[in-house]
């Protein structure tokens, strides 16, 4: 009888531990969100004063879309990405620019240069580059566009590079060095930028 009781207790402990493991795995999966050029595990906690409340994204005041004074020799319609400041500026002319908060490349993936927008896409699909798949073998071969896609609602493709200005399903990462080179924006901002710029616009990344 004692042996049977011990067996029952052991079986119960095994089931409980399996349940805890499964719950932890499911929780990790729920927080698993793809980085724009790599995969990452998010702990789900808002950063950079971003707050997710009632389905709305709340950014720190400095990262909210706004018209600011901005003197530039570039013509209206030019995109200037200041990775150090974590801002993207769309030159409006007359000493003004539309300023957006952005997320930029993490250490080791920084880049700079001048290019042109080569294309624009709404709810783009995502095909991880071969070198990324070598680093992260678990990535899918292709991910269709949609709210769970790491490219978000819109993507603006920069010249012949692999880099894009795109939306994100991790809005709390705005203001951080988080990507593998792409410039990320909250979906509402990238939608706004998408409507304002034309294919062929100059893109300057500082």
Q: Which residues are catalytic?
A: 166, 182
Beta strands in the chain (DSSP E): 32-34, 39-41, 51-53, 56-58, 66-69, 79-82, 87-93, 96-101, 104-105, 113-122, 154-158, 164-166, 177-179, 183-184, 202-205
Determine the Cα–Cα distance for residues 174 and 170; give it in Å rounded to an integer. 8
Question: DSSP letters along 12-46, please?
Answer: HHHHHHHHHHHHHHHHHHHHEEE-SSSEEE-----
User: Is there a contact between 100 and 106 (Cβ–Cβ < 8 Å)?
Assistant: no
């Amino acid at each position: 009888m004692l042996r049977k009781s011990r067996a029952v207790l052991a079986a119960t402990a095994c089931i409980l531990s399996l349940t805890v493991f499964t719950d932890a795995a499911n929780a990790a999966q729920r927080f698993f969100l793809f980085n724009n050029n790599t995969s990452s595990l998010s702990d789900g906690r808002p950063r950079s004063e971003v707050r997710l409340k009632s389905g709305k994204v709340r950014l720190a005041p400095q990262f909210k879309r706004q018209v600011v004074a901005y003197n530039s020799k570039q013509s209206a319609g030019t995109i200037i990405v200041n990775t150090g400041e974590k801002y993207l500026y769309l030159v409006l002319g007359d000493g003004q620019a539309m300023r957006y908060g952005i997320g930029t490349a993490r250490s080791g993936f920084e880049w700079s240069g001048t290019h042109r927008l080569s294309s624009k896409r709404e709810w783009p699909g995502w095909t991880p580059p071969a070198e990324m798949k070598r680093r992260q073998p678990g990535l899918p071969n292709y991910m269709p566009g949609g709210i769970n896609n790491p490219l978000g609602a819109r993507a603006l493709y920069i010249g012949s590079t692999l880099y894009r200005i795109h939306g994100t399903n991790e809005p709390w990462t705005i203001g951080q060095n988080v990507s593998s080179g792409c410039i990320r924006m909250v979906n509402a901002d990238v939608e706004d930028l998408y409507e304002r710029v034309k294919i062929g616009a100059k893109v300057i990344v500082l």
